[in-house]
């Protein structure tokens, strides 16, 4: 078995083989686990069926359900059958629990989302990045994380206006291959030919201090970079769905994102609470970002709402572990 990542808490980390009857049988029989955990949306029919047939306990952690999912459609019997293979669901909210009840399943506990615990931990252990401090200097800092081209075009159209107010901008694209970074640089220059744009991997603190836009073209820095920002944008909202907005919210800064967020409870909650904001167009982005950066009171209040939301929703991990332990006792 080939390990795909280094993770000190695990003996081995690897990709799950494709969900076929043969793969599921061979893989599970080889490992012969006592307990298996799947996370949130991970439902693999043949794996779950094989685990069920061998009476192996299966828990789904941070599960969340919506009425529009295939499990609950008229054609969804195949998908709904998978739910019957689960020993116990640890669901994010009461709505998910009610959907399970409506479909004859009462083997669930409302425990919340373990991602809150993770982002809280990461924020408390954030590392200092001297180059970013030098880049920010005494300016306000706007960070756009996990961006895709559609996000970057939106932001690029407002860059010069933001820079003119004394703001510095960091972009952390989702894809960091050379071609993607070159495309991003061209997008920025096309809309803002007068801005000085630098790459994290190819600059110095001295050069960073006089630049306008910094592209972080290396992985592993985003979660710590948020600590320097007054405002964040999280990408993916013009594609299949937004990336992790909780990483930024944990630092107490407002978060902006595109319109594809309906599958993300935290985004819905934070918009309702006014700790996050949806932008549908470049004009929306320009107005919302400018208003928040200019109005300190509004920005600080929104950031405090975001952080309080994260902190209030922590503790899912310990609740899940306690519940599993109680089932063993």
Percent of the chain with pLDDT over 70: 98
SS3 260: coil
> What's the Rg (C-alpha) of the chain?
22
pLDDT digits (tens, 9 = 90+) for 215-236: 999 999 999 999 999 999 999 9
Q: What is the Cα–Cα distance from 56 to 217, expressed in whole angstroms? A: 43
Q: What is the Cα–Cα distance from 322 to 319, expressed in whole angstroms? A: 5
Q: What is the Cα–Cα distance from 174 to 218, expressed in whole angstroms? A: 10
Q: Which two tokens stand for residue 18?
A: 């494709």
In this prediction, residue 8 has a pLDDT band, given cuts at 50, 70 and 90, of confident
pLDDT digits (tens, 9 = 90+) for 123-138: 999 999 999 999 999 9
pLDDT digits (tens, 9 = 90+) for 21-74: 999 999 999 999 999 999 998 999 999 999 999 999 999 999 999 999 999 999
- Identify the pLDDT of residue 3: 46
Q: What is the Cα–Cα distance from 35 to 58, expressed in whole angstroms? A: 6
Q: Which of 301, 296, 314 is nearest to 124 (CA)?
A: 314
SS3 99: helix
Rounded to 5 degrees, φ, ψ at 137 are 50, -125
- Identify the pLDDT of residue 47: 98
Report the alpha-carbon angle 319-321-324, nearest 5: 110
Q: Which domains does the chain have, with CATH numbers?
A: 21-112+315-328 (3.40.50.2000), 121-312 (3.40.50.2000)
List CB contacts of 291: < 8 A, sequence separation 6 or more: 298
Q: Which two tokens stand for residue 265?
A: 């409870």
- Identify the pLDDT of residue 327: 80
CB under 8 A, 24+ apart: contacts of 305-309: 305/270, 305/273, 305/274, 305/275, 306/248, 306/249, 306/252, 306/253, 306/254, 306/255, 306/270, 306/275, 306/276, 307/249, 307/250, 307/251, 307/252, 309/249, 309/266, 309/269, 309/270, 309/273, 309/275
List CB contacts of 259: < 8 A, sequence separation 6 or more: 237, 238, 278, 279, 280
Residue by residue, what is the 3-state secondary structure of 171-204? EEECCCCHHHHHHHHHHHHHHCCCCCEEEHHHCC
Question: Mean of the per-residue pLDDT values for the chain?
Answer: 94
The pLDDT of residue 251 is above 70? yes
- Identify the pLDDT of residue 19: 97
In this prediction, residue 13 has a pLDDT band, given cuts at 50, 70 and 90, of confident
Count of beta carbons in the 10 Å neighbourhood of residue 318? 12
pLDDT, mean of residues 234-244 = 96
Roughly how many angstroms between the first and final C-alpha of the chain, as a whole number?
Answer: 34
Asked if residue 61 lies in contact with residue 40, where contact means CB atoms within 8 angstroms, the answer is yes
- Identify the pLDDT of residue 1: 44
The pLDDT of residue 7 is above 80? no
User: 109 forms bridges with which residues in the sheet?
Assistant: 90
- Identify the pLDDT of residue 5: 58
pLDDT digits (tens, 9 = 90+) for 187-212: 999 988 889 999 999 999 999 999 99
pLDDT digits (tens, 9 = 90+) for 260-281: 999 999 999 999 999 999 999 9
Helices (H), the chain: 21-31, 45-53, 77-83, 94-102, 115-124, 130-136, 149-156, 159-164, 178-191, 205-208, 222-225, 246-249, 265-273, 282-294, 296-312, 316-328
Instruction: Quote the pTM value.
Output: 0.90
The pLDDT of residue 4 is above 70? no
């Amino acid at each position: 078995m080939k390990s795909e990542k280094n993770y000190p808490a695990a003996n081995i980390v690897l990709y799950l083989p494709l969900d076929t009857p043969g793969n599921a049988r061979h893989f599970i029989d080889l490992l012969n686990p006592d307990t298996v955990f799947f996370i949130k949306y991970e439902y693999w029919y043949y794996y779950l069926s094989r685990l069920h047939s061998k009476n192996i306990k299966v828990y789904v952690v941070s599960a969340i359900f919506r009425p529009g999912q295939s499990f609950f459609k008229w054609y969804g019997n195949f998908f709904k059958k998978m739910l019957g293979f689960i020993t116990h669901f640890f669901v994010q909210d009461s709505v998910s629990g009610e959907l399970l009840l409506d479909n004859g399943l009462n083997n669930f506990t409302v425990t919340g989302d373990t991602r809150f615990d993770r982002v809280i931990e990461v924020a408390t252990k954030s590392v200092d990045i001297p180059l970013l401090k030098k880049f920010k200097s005494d300016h306000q800092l706007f960070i756009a994380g996990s961006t895709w081209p559609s996000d970057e075009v939106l932001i690029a159209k407002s860059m010069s206006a933001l820079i003119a107010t004394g703001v510095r901008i960091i972009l952390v694209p989702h894809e960091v291959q050379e071609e993607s970074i070159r495309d991003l640089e061209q997008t920025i220059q096309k809309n803002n030919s007068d801005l000085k744009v630098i790459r994290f991997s190819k600059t110095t603190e001295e050069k960073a201090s006089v630049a306008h836009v910094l592209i972080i073209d290396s992985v592993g820095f985003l979660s710590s970079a948020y600590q320097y920002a007054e405002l964040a944008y999280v990408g993916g909202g013009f594609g299949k769905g937004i990336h992790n907005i909780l990483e930024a919210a944990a630092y107490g800064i407002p978060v902006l994102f595109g319109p594809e967020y309906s599958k993300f409870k935290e985004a819905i909650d934070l918009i309702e609470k006014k700790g996050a904001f949806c932008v549908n167009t470049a004009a929306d982005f320009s107005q919302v970002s400018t208003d928040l950066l200019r109005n300190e009171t509004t920005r600080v209040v929104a950031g405090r709402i975001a952080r309080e939301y994260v902190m209030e929703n922590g503790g899912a991990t310990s609740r899940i572990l306690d519940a599993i332990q109680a089932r063993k006792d």
